[in-house]
Amino acid sequence: MSASLVYLDNNATTQVDPEVVEEMLPFLTSLYGNPSSAYGFGKQVSLAIEKARERVSQLLQCEPTEIIFNSCGTESTNTAIHSALSADPDRQHIVTTRVEHSATVKTCEALAKKGYEITWLGVNANGQVDLEEVEKAVRSDTALVSVMWANNETGTIFPISDLKEIAKKKGVYFHTDAVQAVGKIPVKLGDSGIQYASLSGHKLHCPKGVGALFSSRRTRLAPYLLGGSQENGKRGGTQNVASIVGFGKASELAALQLERNEKQLRVLRDRFESSVMERVERVKINGDTENRLPNTTNLAFEGLDGEALLMLLDDKNICCSAGSACTSGSVNPSHVLKAMGCSDTHARASLRFSVSHFNTEAEIDYAVNVITEAAAKLRKAFK
């Protein structure tokens, strides 16, 4: 068993579901027409895109016209923020949090350099925002409130329905990065009062390089990529047909299996988490254990170096993450854990484990054994 891969990093990316691959294959082989072409060979392809749009919209309980396919979750977030800002040039203020994904963080930082004002809301020790603080932060010149649905590092789920109510009451756009939430917990976007939401295929057992932006039919969208009239004029560029078809299939599967998956993820995650905490001393959970994605656990191994532990697990073919995929490899401790008030040492002692329904109990038990041994080895070495 030690030779095969144990992939516990499903918040970084996921295994493509074989059923998704199956559905995609014709569009990588015989059905290569351009979906914008007028003849039947192209029309066949554009119909497949529309079927995918229908399936994604069913998962999100919205209208198909509210789904715009693009290249990734990051593009969705860039598009949503820029669109909200372009609606009214007098509104140059954004409210967001300190624990967002880098897609939001970097976009806002770049805007700040251009003269926009950003309010970075802090979080408490559980990683939660304070609703009163959010309300106070929204001003008459605020263009947008942007808060992620669920955090990729800790799994903390934010009170989206309260947050979007605050934005609505104040007449401000609301965007949510729903990349981690979709497929793991129910996400209803249609008629929700949410203007924009970011989605990504590869966190949902679909290939990398395809995303979607939910844009409410009541809201104007300013295209980010200008070009052809693809996606109803809302996103230029010939579509990534095969991946879009895959996104549709993955959404159909997610919708069908949502309840079962949610339970299964929770069983695997809880088995992992409670076993590690039972067998390894001084382990603490980072984040909000009540409002948390069912697949994620972020654990601090106090007194240990997370990177060193990660390397020992890597030697045994177990994949997990120190911080988010986008920040690991750098020496900086996680901005999410820092925002929660963790010390650098605590943040550096922390690892994220995230399961999918492709994981098995045997894999979990194997990983727990390896972690127990590795932690003991490191503790001895540091004594």
Q: Is 179 in the site for ligand PLP (CB under 6 A)?
A: yes
Q: C-beta of 262: minimal distance to ligand PLP in Å?
A: 18
Give the whole-angstrom CA distance, residue 55 versus residue 261: 18
> Closest distance between ligand PLP and the C-beta of residue 370, in Å?
25
CB of 203 to ligand PLP, least distance (A): 6
Stretch that binds ligand PLP, among 36-44, 173-181, 236-244, 306-314 (CB under 6 A): 173-181
Task: Verify binding: residue 16, ligand PLP, rule CB under 6 A.
Answer: no
| Segment contacting ligand PLP by CB under 6 A, of 17-25, 69-77, 158-166, 251-259 | 69-77
Is 183 one of the binding residues for ligand PLP (CB under 6 A)? no
Catalytic-role residue among 62, 206, 319, 326: 326
Count of positions on this chain that bind ligand PLP (CB under 6 A): 15
Taking the complex as a whole, the smallest distance from the CB of residue 282 to ligand PLP amounts, in Å, to 28
Is 147 a binder of ligand PLP (CB under 6 A)?
no
Instruction: Rank residues 346 and 352 by Cβ distance to ligand PLP and give the closer one.
Output: 352
Q: Tell the smallest beta-carbon distance from residue 104 to ligand PLP (Å).
A: 8
**How many C-beta atoms surround the C-beta of residue 185 within 10 A?**
20
> In the 3-class helix/strand/coil scheme, how is the chain assigned residue by residue?
CCCCCEECECCCCCCCCHHHHHHHHHHCCCCCCCCCCCCHHHHHHHHHHHHHHHHHHHHCCCCHHHEEEECCHHHHHHHHHHHHHHCCCCCCEEEEECCCCHHHHHHHHHHHHCCCEEEEECCCCCCCCCHHHHHHHCCCCEEEEECCCECCCCCEECCHHHHHHHHHHCCCEEEEECCCCECCECCCCCCCCCCEEEEEHHHCCCCCCCEEEEECCCCCCCCCCCCCCHHHHCCCCCCCHHHHHHHHHHHHHHHHHHHHHHHHHHHHHHHHHHHHHHHCCCEEECCCCCCECCCEEEEEECCCCHHHHHHHHHHCCEECECCCCCCECECCCCHHHHHCCCCHHHHHCEEEEECCCCCCHHHHHHHHHHHHHHHHHHHHHHC
Binding to ligand PLP in span 94-123, by CB under 6 A: 101, 103
Least distance between ligand PLP and beta carbon 211 (Å): 5
Backbone phi, then psi, for 58, in 5-degree steps?
-65, -40
Give the Cα separation of 352 and 155 in Å (integer): 9
187 binds ligand PLP (CB under 6 A): no
Residue 36 or residue 291: which is nearer to ligand PLP going by CB?
A: 291
Q: Which is nearer to ligand PLP, 203 or 249 (CB)?
A: 203
101, two tokens: 């994904």
Tell whether residue 180 is a contact of ligand PLP (CB under 6 A). yes
Q: Does 152 participate in binding ligand PLP (rule CB under 6 A)?
A: yes
CA atoms within 13 A on the CB side of 12: 16
- As measured in angstroms, the least distance from the Cβ of 227 to ligand PLP is 20
73 binds ligand PLP per the rule CB under 6 A? yes
- Annotated catalytic, 326? yes
200 binding ligand PLP? (CB under 6 A):
yes
| Tokens representing residue 355 in the block | 């399961």
Q: Work out whether 246 is an interface residue with ligand PLP (CB under 6 A).
A: no
Q: Which residue is nearest to ligand PLP (CB)?
A: 73
Stretch that binds ligand PLP, among 67-75, 83-91, 231-239, 331-339 (CB under 6 A): 67-75
Contact status: 207 vs ligand PLP (CB under 6 A)? no
Contact between 153 and ligand PLP by CB under 6 A: the answer reads no
Residue from 9, 17, 23, 177 in contact with ligand PLP (CB under 6 A): 177
Does 268 bind ligand PLP (CB under 6 A)? Our answer is: no
Interaction between residue 148 and ligand PLP (CB under 6 A): yes
Cα–chain-centroid distance for residue 363? Answer: 24
Round to whole Å and give the CA distance between 314 and 336. 24
Binding site for ligand PLP (CB under 6 A): 11, 72-74, 101, 103, 148, 152, 177, 179-180, 200, 202-203, 211
Active-site positions?
326
